[in-house]
Amino acid sequence: MLWNSLAALALVAPSHALIRFGCSQLVVDRLDPLVNPGLTPSPHLHQIIGGNSFTPSMTPVEHDLAKLSNCTTCQPSEDFSNYWTASLYFRARNGTFKRVPQRGNAGFEGQKGGMTVYYMQNQLADYAQKAKVKAFQPGFRMLIGNPTANTRQEAEKYQQLTYTCLQNPGTRFPETKAFPTKPCPAGIMVNLRFPTCWDGKNLDSPDHISHMSYPASGVFESQGPCPDSHPVRMPQVMYEVIFETQVFNDTSLWPEDGSQPFVWSFGDGTGYGNHGDYVFGWKDDALQKIMDEECYVNCTSMKTQSMEKMNSCSVPNKVHEDIGDNDWIASIPGQPMMRLHAADGSI
């Protein structure tokens, strides 16, 4: 129901999106400055959005995204953060692959690929948004999810990484932990919600997760308290990433055994390895100011730029390889193997 109201609101006020805004694609490349800094190519392909200071290696703090970027693909003109998730592939019956195209959400038509990003003080559809949160600090970064997760049990360690099978652009439920098993007429939306409790000290951690925590009980949405180990309540960062899987919705092209044909760029055909990465890069205290405004979607302290400007910001590829946007490719870049079924047999 919550999601219904948000979708309704989005249709009424699509372009004044604070806390909820569109970002176009910056580049699709086999780079991962968080997990594999400097490695060109990194093990798997991502779509990256945000500030154009994005490079294969971004040393925390020294690499000041807001200072080094000249443009951003995000609607807020002061957000030079980088956000990324894996790319998605369709596997044909003959074993060749094509990359699934991406598009913006309803209300963000004209956006080049990309995703929708949220920063929330309270849960969606709480129009007051009054709970105080502390904005991220320069040098902050985190990830959520585990690309090697192979079972539902492993995936469930991460409360809120899910898929929505879009019957239409406004569909918001149900959400599933695994890839949808049937064609989705308006595509697949991947939902990623990051943990919201910070240890108050570390801008990063060796696994890029453990400086953050989920609430001690309940969830962010239920105002669950932060644990003593991670006492600082941060904004809920959420991504909605839409893949135009309907381009491949002809089931005569789907596997003969009835399984679904989509595979993450890290070789996962189950969907349990859903994960996303975040490197904070808002200018000065712009994010804190917005978070202090008690506004819902329409926040006057958020400066915005035009879709044209968002779309004109990009960086050249560092890795030059065929990623399967035009021709069918024999294997996913960097992935000789793929994991079609979960080890526990579930889907």
Ligand X SMILES: *[C@@H]1O[C@H](CO)[C@@H](O)[C@H](O)[C@H]1NC(C)=O
Binders of ligand X: how many residues, by CB under 6 A? 19
Instruction: Give the binding range for ligand X (CB under 6 A) out of 63-71, 146-154, 157-165, 231-239.
Output: 63-71
Nearest approach, Cβ of 245 to ligand X (angstroms)?
9
CB of 51 to ligand X, least distance (A): 8
Tell me: does residue 53 bind ligand X (CB under 6 A): yes
Q: Which stretch binds ligand X (CB under 6 A): 113-121, 173-181, 226-234, 241-249?
A: 241-249
Determine how many CB atoms are found less than 10 A away from the CB of residue 229: 11
Q: Candidates 91-99, 152-160, 229-237, 285-293 — which segment interacts with ligand X by CB under 6 A? A: 91-99
Taking the least distance from each CB to ligand X, the nearer of 221 and 244 is 244
Residue 212 has φ and ψ, to the nearest 5°, of -120, 160
Binding positions for ligand X, 13-42, rule CB under 6 A: 13, 16
Q: Which of 148, 167, 229, 300 is close enough to bind ligand X by CB under 6 A?
A: 300
Cβ count within 10 A of residue 125: 15
CB of 264 to ligand X, least distance (A): 20
Out of 94, 222, 252, 326, the residue judged to bind ligand X by CB under 6 A: 94
Task: Report which residue type is found at 103.
Answer: R
CB 100 within 8 A of CB 247: yes
- Partners of 74 in beta bridges: 23
Shortest separation between residue 112's beta carbon and ligand X, angstroms: 18
Rounded CA-CA distance 34/145 in Å is 14
**According to CB under 6 A, which one of 298, 301, 311, 331 is a site residue for ligand X?**
298
What is the pattern of x (binds ligand X, CB under 6 A) and - over residues 173-192? Answer: ----------x-x-------
- Considering beta carbons, is residue 106 or 216 the nearer one to ligand X? 106
Residue 218: CB minimum distance to ligand X, A: 30
Report in angstroms the alpha-carbon separations of 49 from 75, 79, 168, 263, 340: 11, 11, 25, 21, 28
Q: Specify the residue, 42 or 53, whose C-beta has the smaller distance to ligand X.
A: 53
- The 253-272 contact track toward ligand X, x by CB under 6 A, reads x-------------------
Residue from 328, 334, 338, 340 that binds ligand X (CB under 6 A)? 328
Can you give the binding site for ligand X, defined by CB under 6 A?
13, 16, 52-53, 68-70, 92, 94, 96, 183, 185, 246-247, 249, 253, 298, 300, 328
